[in-house]
Amino acid sequence: MHVRVKIDGNEMEIRTVWMEENRVVKMIDQRKLPHRFEIFESPDHKTTAFAIKEMIVRGAGAIGVVAAFAVAQAANTIRTSNFEEFMKELNNRLDVVRASRPTAVSLFYNINRVLSAVRKCGNVDEAKDVAYDEAQRIAEESVEICRKIGEFGAELINDGDTVLTHCNAGALAFVDWGTALAPIRMAHYQGKEIKVLVDETRPWLQGARLTAWELEMEGIEHYIISDGAAGYFMRKGFIRSVFVGADRIAANGDVANKIGTYSLAILAKTNNVNFYVAAPLETFDLNCPNGDNIPIEERSEDEIFYVWGLDDEGAWRRVRIAPFGSRAHNPVFDVTPHEYVTLFITEKGLVKPPFKENIQLLIRGGSHKK
Ligand code: MRU
């Protein structure tokens, strides 16, 4: 499976992110897609934190896995044999990773998961191996979790459906498969005819650049639309369902996801379109009672002012589209209140309203502990 890549007629399958035995973390450089396919190599946790911050790797799941890899990288070069000192130094080193991006809870969840495995062993040499093994386990589990989300979600897609997705919650946003795109991919493999409308997703254009690239590689029929066009297509009755991912979901079911998700959810409700949120259980943050408690990242104004891509001669260009005197606001996530969500698609199955009760039941009842 993996991310399917076709370059110059050659086809290969590759994971979005992985860590080698020497602790070098490798990742598809998402800043360069769809026009260039390059692998970025990170030798240490500080470079990995840089890769997250600069969106060389992005998407909640991929960020989470890479953060787990960063713990293994940080642990590996600590030079003390005193376990208490080791733990203290490891914790300090991880601050740069914690500070990289605030909204996707998987980053914090996976750092804590690796740290708690390490804390149990009490011996520095063993701890370095435990950090490596636990991080690799998280990556493997992520693939399987997303595959299950694909299976449960595919049941919601009928032959002949047109669906809409926002941002990129595909294989590039995880290790493989993705969340919102997993049901679409799975339904396609099941032989269902599907059309996908892809919101371009200003300002970083994850939809136009990344989701469109993934669908193109998979041979799934898709059309990029401007973000403002979704209502037009819903009102015409063209769209049966919207599939989005999530960066963090509060205990009551409020969803933080890519900016523009909230407007889409309102449009979907107004036009009787299903609004599905696909996410692994680790995305549910029971420490946030509702969406108001979710930290929302603000990124540089330059993401609004400039676009980049290939010009007609094939040269890479960054061009300014806004007046030099203008200012911009760039919150990159918004919160969709739970009442706009039709269903959550998780690796344990579909979650229906009432969300607060059913989320609690699923998380407390599952193997997943918060
Ligand atoms: O800023 P990004 O590209 O890291 O944000 C990703 C998203 O918000 C996606 O929409 C996604 O649903 C969450 S990642 C599965």
Mean pLDDT of 30-39: 95
Please identify, by atom number, the ligand 1 atom nearest to the C-alpha of residue 244.
12
Q: How far from 152 is each of 48, 147, 245, 347, 350, CA to CA, in Å? A: 33, 9, 14, 8, 7
d(CA 166, ligand 1 centre) in Å: 9
DSSP helix/strand/coil, 160? coil
Spell out the domains of the chain, with CATH numbers in brackets.
3-146 (1.20.120.420), 152-363 (3.40.50.10470)
Whether residue 4 has pLDDT greater than 60? yes
Residues 367 and 370: their CA atoms lie apart, in Å, by: 10
Please identify, by atom number, the ligand 1 atom nearest to the C-alpha of residue 206.
3
Question: Is the four-CA dihedral 236, 239, 245, 250 of positive or negative sign?
Answer: positive
Whether residue 8 has pLDDT greater than 70? no
Residues 246 and 266: their CA atoms lie apart, in Å, by: 16
pLDDT band at 368 (very low <50, low <70, confident <90, very high): very low
d(CA 238, ligand 1 centre) in Å: 25
DSSP helix/strand/coil, 163? strand
% pLDDT > 90, the chain:
93
Whether residue 5 has pLDDT greater than 80? no
% pLDDT > 70, the chain:
97
Residue nearest to ligand 1 atom 7, measured at CA = 258
Site to probe by mutation for ligand 1, drawn from 145, 198, 200, 258 as the one with most ligand atoms within 8 Å of Cβ, is 258
Please identify, by atom number, the ligand 1 atom nearest to the C-alpha of residue 261.
10
CB proximity list for 190: less than 8 A, separation 6 or greater: 154
pLDDT band at 369 (very low <50, low <70, confident <90, very high): very low
Residues 51-64: pLDDT tens digits?
999 999 999 999 99
8-state DSSP, 197:
E
Residues 74-101: pLDDT tens digits?
999 999 999 999 999 999 999 999 999 9
- Of 289, 214, 287, the C-alpha closest to 245 is 214
Q: How high does pLDDT run on average in the chain?
A: 95
- Of 344, 5, 368, the C-alpha closest to 171 is 5
Please identify, by atom number, the ligand 1 atom nearest to the C-alpha of residue 247.
13
d(CA 52, ligand 1 centre) in Å: 12
CB proximity list for 252: less than 8 A, separation 6 or greater: 289, 290, 291, 338, 355, 356, 359
d(CA 103, ligand 1 centre) in Å: 10
How much is the pLDDT for 367?
45
8-state DSSP, 8:
T
d(CA 122, ligand 1 centre) in Å: 36
Mean pLDDT of 176-181: 96
Site to probe by mutation for ligand 1, drawn from 142, 167, 175 as the one with most ligand atoms within 8 Å of Cβ, is 167
Let me know: does 304 contact 203? Beta carbons within 8 Å. Answer: yes
- Of 109, 111, 114, 110, the C-alpha closest to 131 is 114
Please identify, by atom number, the ligand 1 atom nearest to the C-alpha of residue 333.
8
Mean pLDDT of 236-252: 98
240-243-247 Cα angle (round to 5): 160
What is the model's pTM?
0.95
Residues 284-322: pLDDT tens digits?
999 999 999 999 999 999 999 999 999 999 999 999 999
Rg (alpha carbons) of the chain, rounded to whole number: 20
d(CA 28, ligand 1 centre) in Å: 16
Phi, psi for residue 11 in degrees, rounded to 5? -110, 135
pLDDT band at 366 (very low <50, low <70, confident <90, very high): low
Q: Which residues line ligand 1 (CB under 6 A)?
A: 58-61, 167, 169, 173, 179, 206, 244-247, 257-258, 332
User: Could you give the residue numbers annotated as active site?
Assistant: 247
Residue nearest to ligand 1 atom 8, measured at CA = 258
Residue nearest to ligand 1 atom 4, measured at CA = 59
